[in-house]
A = this chain, B = another copy of it.
């Protein structure tokens, strides 16, 4: 298997964007091409979840290839729910690793604010079990609320812990010019003050407004390349060192222990084994905090902390940028935003910035190994990947 490197990264601001979906993908891609010093690639993999349903556009990859004048290069769209981005990276990785292609553009994009928030919520809910969940009206916030309640009862997580994740990530986002939310928040303002409950109402009890990521438009892109192309580019050598992926039962209620996210655990184990590293070797991580509880649980399942102890590490400040195991320095989905198809690509955009030492005020000093966890469905299709700076 050939080694695969990331030699270019690009991103749009995550916000409400008033230009077409294919141009969101193209804008991020132009940044990545420029960063890599390339004007052409052999193959495109485009990650997106909702184009046909919410933007009336199918075969998005063909449109992106055309918009960027990258024809006649082959192009494919990958849709894997919220894990679409990391899935696209995996497909791009295999394209280079196999020797089929030497350079691959991986672009993720979503334009969700074209529809109203009810339609966006319904659209995201289409990833649930069609006969056991969706038809009964369950939404992702509803799933997350039930999951959060179980976790609180089993492991002693409190509303305060959830709020601490939100405060940390939304304040990290203040250091990221491309983040969606640029509004500093505090425990005082969203939990402890008389106005807090007005500022931060229930969405689905025990989940409050500030426990949920925003609905964002945005795009992110990476250039993957063979070792030969990477060396010739002169860009920092950031290698995709491990990729793991696992599925779980589609319906959450069918799991033996619903508070175990087995797909996260298995995907992480595979990624570490492939990379030949251990959780303690990871210097910086981007975890999929679509809801605040998920950062806590994923930080346990990927092996950073013992099961049920993630909220303790959080309390101690270990997951802050200056802490022992910095998580979501970019702001995460909570602060940076969650344009679904772009998210998994944007996580790796941040890891590459960190490993290059280019993350400015939010830099994790001396980061050499990074990890990203892109969480699909409600934990039914998860990809964990690791990245290693060489030289």
A residues with a Cβ closer than 8 A to B are 1-2, 20, 22, 43, 49-50, 52-53, 55-63, 65-67, 70-81, 83, 87, 90-91, 93-95, 97-100, 123-124, 126-127, 129-131, 134, 243, 245-251, 262-263, 266, 376-377, 380-381, 383
Given contacts A71-B247, A94-B98, contact A63 B20 (CB under 8 A): no
Report Cα–Cα, A53/B99, bound state, in Å: 35
Is A59 in contact with B247, judged by CB distance below 8 angstroms?
A: no
Is B262 in contact with A129, judged by CB distance below 8 angstroms?
A: no
Report Cα–Cα, A20/B58, bound state, in Å: 21
Which single member of B22, B124, B131 contacts A130 (CB below 8 Å)? B22
Report Cα–Cα, A87/B127, bound state, in Å: 22
Nearest-neighbour CB distance to chain B for A315, whole angstroms, equals 32
Is B97 in contact with A127, judged by CB distance below 8 angstroms?
A: no
Contacts of A56 in B (CB 8 A): 126, 130, 134
Q: Which of A1, A97, A130 is packed against the most chain B CB atoms within 10 Å?
A: A130
Contacts of A377 in B (CB 8 A): 59, 62
Which single member of B134, B243, B247 contacts A62 (CB below 8 Å)? B247
Is A80 in contact with B97, judged by CB distance below 8 angstroms?
A: no
Contacts of A134 in B (CB 8 A): 56-57
Query: Taking CB as reference atom, which chain B residue is nearest A267?
Result: B74
Is B90 in contact with A249, judged by CB distance below 8 angstroms?
A: no
Report Cα–Cα, A55/B1, bound state, in Å: 38
Report Cα–Cα, A87/B78, bound state, in Å: 10
Which single member of B62, B71, B87, B263 contacts A80 (CB below 8 Å)? B62
Which single member of B62, B77, B123, B383 contacts A78 (CB below 8 Å)? B77
Query: Taking CB as reference atom, which chain B residue is nearest A44?
Result: B247
Is A62 in contact with B250, judged by CB distance below 8 angstroms?
A: yes
Report Cα–Cα, A71/B91, bound state, in Å: 19
Given contacts A56-B130, A130-B20, A130-B57, contact A247 B75 (CB under 8 A): yes
Nearest-neighbour CB distance to chain B for A139, whole angstroms, equals 13
Q: Which of A61, A243, A249 is packed against the most chain B CB atoms within 10 Å?
A: A61
Q: List 15 A-B contacts (CB under 8 A).
A: A52-B126, A58-B127, A59-B81, A59-B380, A61-B381, A62-B80, A71-B246, A72-B246, A72-B248, A79-B79, A91-B91, A94-B94, A97-B100, A98-B99, A100-B243
Contacts of A245 in B (CB 8 A): 43, 74
Beyond A58-B127, A59-B81, A63-B250, 6 extra complex contacts between A and B, CB < 8 Å: A52-B53, A71-B380, A74-B381, A75-B80, A97-B99, A98-B99
